[in-house]
Amino acid sequence: MTGIDFTVFKGSPTGKIVESKTHKESIKTDEVLLKITHAGYMVLGHEGVGIVQQVGSQVTSFKVGDRAGWGYLHNSCGHCEECLNANEMFCAERAMYAYSNTDQGAFASHAVWKAAFLFHIPDAITSSDAAPLMCAGATVFNVMYLYNVRPTDRVGIVGIGGLGHIAIQFAAKMGCEVVVFSGSGSAKEFYVTRGASKLEIGRPVKHLFVTSSRIPDWNLFLPVLASNATIYPLTFSEGDLAIPYVPLLSKGLRIQGSFCASRGAYVKMLTFAAVHRIKPITEEFPLTVEGIEEAMAKLDNGEVRYRAVLVAGHGR
């Protein structure tokens, strides 16, 4: 084998997208080479879907021609307490996007990943729909699955965006009573928060998913939470998480941190999405420098509803 060369699109200090090349001497025995077909536009490429081109000699879970997807986590030690308890996302030796494998990502022609951290895409899910599920979908599903969100629970979603619009679908299909909070928009039960000083929503919320682009005004939301409710901050925001102290104590509220999903949760998420026909709302762009920059500009202007997906070979 003469080696594997492929194109990778990366950011640069100037903010421009640049086209570069990555070389692999070969794939390892436990790795898979994929030709990338779709990538969710999330932080330059950790939501990828592609077609298997080669498999390592020890790989039995994938074959050439299979569709596979991947997310934020690429590897873990496999033998620590967290890994053995299916919490590999908290492994001290975890390999994650932007901290390892920095020579490749989903914004590329190909990628080489550990087979154990790839996921089969169900036939009922298109590759374009699968891409945003590989991080955004897994993130919100993981919280619902891991922290026992139950049917009939009243669930609040703050922000209808890349995560929020998928969270709404998952919660509704789980049989939850979904309450949506956003600056503007509409839903079955929707409350506009822009300019509001108080929210009147009737029965209080048991689980509050914060998927907005910034941390909300807690003084607006804590009064509508039920006793022993849980808040899940799923938005990456700079600075400290500051929250009123007395309501936290007097209502017995919990703030639950969460990260990317375990591999088991990924499989369940994809199965659930396939069975219930959960589809991200997407807009497609070419997987080229020009397509990435166009998607970036539209996202910066708030013009994408709700996820941008880059497609290889997709023209305008």
Dihedral, CA of residue 105, residue 75, residue 240 and residue 15, to nearest 10: -10
Look-up: residue for tokens 């709404």?
168
Helix (H, G, I), strand (E, B) or coil at 291: helix
pLDDT at residue 177 tops 80: yes
pLDDT band at 186 (very low <50, low <70, confident <90, very high): low
Residue range 215-232, pLDDT digits in tens = 899 999 999 999 999 999
pLDDT at 292 over 60: yes
Query: What is the rounded CA–CA span in Å between residue 182 and residue 203?
Result: 18
Given this model, what pLDDT does residue 11 score?
Answer: 87
What is residue 196's predicted lDDT score, i.e. its pLDDT?
84
Q: How far apart are the C-alpha atoms of 274 and 279, rounded to whole Å?
A: 9
Backbone conformation region of residue 136, classed left if phi is above 0, alpha if psi is from -120 to 50, else beta? alpha
- Please state, in angstroms and rounded to a whole number, the distance separating the CA atoms of residues 13 and 194: 35
Residue 269: count of CB within 10 angstroms of its CB: 25
Q: What is the mean pLDDT of residues 243-261?
A: 94
Q: Give the whole-number percent of the chain exceeding pLDDT 70.
A: 97
3-19 tens-digit pLDDT = 999 999 998 888 899 99
High-pLDDT (> 90) share of the chain, %: 82
Quote the distance between the C-alpha of residue 54 and its chain's center: 26
Which strand (E) or helix (H) includes residue 128? Answer: helix 127-132
Task: Give yes or no for residue 201 having a pLDDT over 60.
Answer: yes
Helix, strand, coil percentages for the chain (3-state, nearest 5):
25, 30, 45
User: Mean pLDDT for the chain?
Assistant: 93
What is the arithmetic mean of pLDDT over 268-294? 97
Q: Give the pLDDT score at 140.
A: 97
- Whether 208 has a pLDDT exceeding 90, the answer reads yes
Distance CA 219, CA 138 (A): 29
pLDDT classification of 315: cutoffs 50, 70, 90: low
* pLDDT, position 236: 80
In this structure, how many other beta carbons lie within 10 angstroms of the beta carbon of residue 99?
A: 10
Note the pLDDT tens digit of each residue in 37-79: 999 998 778 999 999 999 999 999 999 999 999 999 999 999 9
Please state the rounded mean pLDDT for residues 152-163.
95
pLDDT at site 156: 97
* Angle between helices 138-146 and 164-173 in degrees, nearest 10: 40
Banded pLDDT at 185 (limits 50, 70, 90) = low
Place of tokens 């599903």: 141
pLDDT beyond 60 at 98 = yes
Per-residue pLDDT, 93:
96
In 3D, which of 124, 110, 136, 129 has the Cα closest to residue 35?
Answer: 110
Is the pLDDT reported for residue 316 higher than 60? no
Q: Where is pLDDT greater, at 105 or 189?
A: 105
Q: What is the arithmetic mean of pLDDT over 191-200?
A: 86
Q: What dihedral angle (degrees, nearest 10) is formed by the CA atoms of 161, 166, 171, 173?
A: 140
Number of other CB atoms surrounding residue 168 within 10 Å: 23
> Given this model, what pLDDT does residue 187 score?
66
What's the pLDDT at 184?
65
**3-state DSSP assignment of residue 116:** helix
Question: Rounded CA gap, 45 and 111, in Å?
Answer: 11
pTM above the 0.75 mark?
Answer: yes
- Of the candidates 179, 181, 176, the one whose C-alpha atom is nearest the C-alpha of residue 220 is 181
- How far apart CA 268 and CA 145 sit, in angstroms, is 9
Mean pLDDT of 242-271: 95
Amino acid code (one letter) for 244:
P
Give the pLDDT mean for 135-153.
96
What are the residues facing 4 on neighbouring strands?
24
Contact 137, 166 (CB under 8 A): yes
Query: Collapsing DSSP states into helix, strand and coil, what is residue 21?
Result: strand
